[in-house]
Amino acid sequence: MRAMQLTAHDQPLELREIDKPQPRAGEVLVKVAACGLNFGDLLIIKGTYQEKPPLPATLGMELAGTVEAVGEGVRDLEPGQRIAAYSGFHGLADYAAIPADICVQIPDEMSFEDAAAFLIAYGTSHVALDYKARMRPGERLLVLGASGGVGLTAVELGKVMGAEVIACARGEEKLEICRRMGADHTIDSDSGDIREVVKSLGGADVVYDPVGGDQFKAALRACNREARILPLGFASGEVPQIPANIILVKNISVLGLYWGGYAALNPKVLTDSFRTLTDWYVEGKIRPHVSNVLPLERTHEGLELLRTRKATGKVVITTS
């Protein structure tokens, strides 16, 4: 079968022919239909991600497809079922053998492309805003990096959850997409003063930040008392140092979130979240914004869209 593999750090992925895997006990063999690309894939390639697989490694953190075979002991899944999974790796290939207990069945109404764009982006935003920040209707949500894969879902979910949403992104084209996804107010990160604009709107009660750097610093100073700020990543390349005096005086909570960590820490957080999100999808309340769909052999182009921040929403790779 074909697989996009990392053979050396800081080198392009290689499309290689490898043996088709067989499911071991507790695993299922999935015929992969689609795989969502994520910023974490770029970090794995550089060797700076928190998980470092032995090389060569097949990349692809989230996949969707059809169960082709099940290993010994698997009871809840059977061949022919449509599933999605946060696998961490293995998604950029024709087939993947993955643990059955990380698979979730997807509704007939959901395409494989939508399913591959769903788990990490929507899951991260929903767990962040609901489980971690306990965001309430009527609160003011500031989303940094709002046109990216996770940022755009935070804008959309913020509106579904009843928040007043301020979206911060680069350029009018990206800001218009944020408005279409429900943003009440927008800030151009290249020209707008985040701190002053947010304060003029009444301050932020919740800050969703996958960017870090100077934007984190500005957002922190625009927070209301008892605000919650969620550092989710550092796309700017700078990990901010948090001034304890500000969070002390304003009673601000800084809530870290590594969404994938809940797979081992407390899987029920993820499964409960996915159930809610699936219901909202079927009800038509949310729809993934997939900006680019590319075949497996053009994975490099998809990764470059992420690296240069030219993608809005998700980039999805298909195998057929």
Indicate the domain borders of the chain.
2-118+288-318, 121-259
The answer to whether the CB of 150 falls within 8 A of the CB of 210 is yes
pLDDT exceeds 90 at position 141: yes
Taking the alpha carbons at both ends of the chain, their separation in whole angstroms is: 12
pLDDT at 284: 93
Give the pLDDT confidence score for residue 234 in this predicted structure: 85
pLDDT at residue 191, rounded to an integer: 86
- Tokens 């590594």 correspond to what residue? 258
Alpha-helical (H) ranges within the chain are 39-46, 112-116, 119-126, 149-160, 172-180, 194-200, 213-220, 244-249, 262-265, 267-282, 299-307
Q: What's the whole-number mean pLDDT along residues 59-80?
A: 96
Calculate the average pLDDT of the chain.
93
Mean pLDDT confidence for 207-228 = 96
What are the b/e assignments for 70-81, b being 16+ CB within 10 Å? bbeebeebeeee
For 103-111, what is the mean pLDDT?
92
Distance CA 201, CA 197 (A): 6
Please report the pLDDT score of residue 310 as a whole number: 85
The string of DSSP codes covering 158-197 is HHHTT-EEEEEESSHHHHHHHHHTT-SEEEETTTS-HHHH
The two tokens of residue 257 are 């979130």
* 313 has pLDDT over 80: no
Taking the C-alpha atoms of residue 311 and residue 304, their distance in angstroms, rounded to an integer, is 9
pLDDT reading at 216 higher than 80: yes
Superfamily of chain region 2-118+288-318: Medium-chain alcohol dehydrogenases, catalytic domain (3.90.180.10)
pTM of the model: 0.84
3-state DSSP assignment of residue 128:
helix
In this structure, what DSSP letter does residue 93 have? Answer: B
Q: Would you tell me how many other CB atoms lie within 10 Å of the CB of residue 305?
A: 17
Q: Average pLDDT of 231-247?
A: 88
CATH 3.40.50.720 for domain 121-259:
yes
Q: List the beta bridge partners of residue 125.
A: none
Report the pLDDT value the prediction gives residue 92, as an integer from 0 to 100.
98
Asked if pLDDT for residue 251 goes beyond 90, the answer is yes
Contact call for residues 137 and 161 (beta carbons, < 8 A)? yes
User: 145 with 212: CB under 8 angstroms?
Assistant: no
Choice among 106-115, 192-201, 254-263 with the minimum mean pLDDT: 254-263
Q: What is the pLDDT of residue 237?
A: 79
Estimate to the nearest angstrom the gap between the alpha carbon of 35 and the chain centroid: 12
Q: What tokens were used for 112?
A: 């494989």
Q: What is the pLDDT of residue 236?
A: 79
**Residue 57 confidence (pLDDT) above 90:** yes
Mean pLDDT of 81-85: 95
What is the percent of the chain where pLDDT is above 70? 100
Q: Note the pLDDT of residue 49.
A: 85
